[in-house]
Amino acid sequence: MTTRRPAKATRSKTDSQPWLHMNGAQIQEFGTVRMFPLGLSRDARMYSCERLNQILADTQILHALYKKHHWLMRGPTFYQLHLLLDKHAGEQLELVDQIAERVQTLGGVAVGDPRHVAEITVIPRPPNGCEEVPAMLSRLIEAHETILVACHDAASRAQEMGDDGTNDLLVSEVIRTNELQTWFLIEHLVDTPLVETPGS
């Protein structure tokens, strides 16, 4: 049985029944920007929102990949990588929030529904099962590079259009975080012996 919103005439000021099963009109379409007095042209804000939403979608997928690989990590470096990947996932989640807030600040609509994210991401989908550890790490590195390439291009173009805030976010937060995380992953793929054998 579903509870419907009571007619206005039957509601009193002391009625605490929540208004359930509400449907509303869409008040702003995805891919549009509202006119905010930010000292930026509509074209600059539209461009930044489009690029940021692509990076936002890819960053949400990277966060999900980090959690997946964090859970599925195997082998003698399990503990270290299990913790490292979870730390990186947390940092990516912070970036998700910062990027989304920048889109909203510019008057846009941030991509948030996971099904919408899946439609627009360019990060390849991994197998549903568990891969070998080097393959999981390589997959994360490739996702980082995809985001970094997009960020370098978007940051440069945003600066040309006068959007210093988007440029600063991409350079100071997104690029630097992704570069550092990539370095940490790469060093786990270097094939060096754990112990030097005497006389070798």
Where exactly are the structural domains of the chain? 40-187
**What is the mean pLDDT of the segment spanning 19-26?**
88
User: Which residue has tokens 């990277």?
Assistant: 62
Separation CA 8–CA 6 (nearest Å): 6
Which CATH number applies to 40-187: 1.20.1260.10, 3.30.300.30, 3.30.70.2740, 3.10.20.30? 1.20.1260.10
**What is the mean pLDDT of the segment spanning 48-63?**
98
Quote the pLDDT of residue 10.
59
Given a contact cutoff of 8 angstroms between Cβ atoms, the answer to whether 33 and 46 are in contact is yes
Quote the pLDDT of residue 117.
98
The secondary element (H helix, E strand) that includes residue 94 is helix 78-105
- Tell me which of 4-18, 28-42, 115-129 is least confident: 4-18
Quote the pLDDT of residue 15.
80
Indicate the pTM of the whole model: 0.88
Q: Report the candidate in 42, 50, 43 with the shortest Cα–Cα distance to residue 120.
A: 50
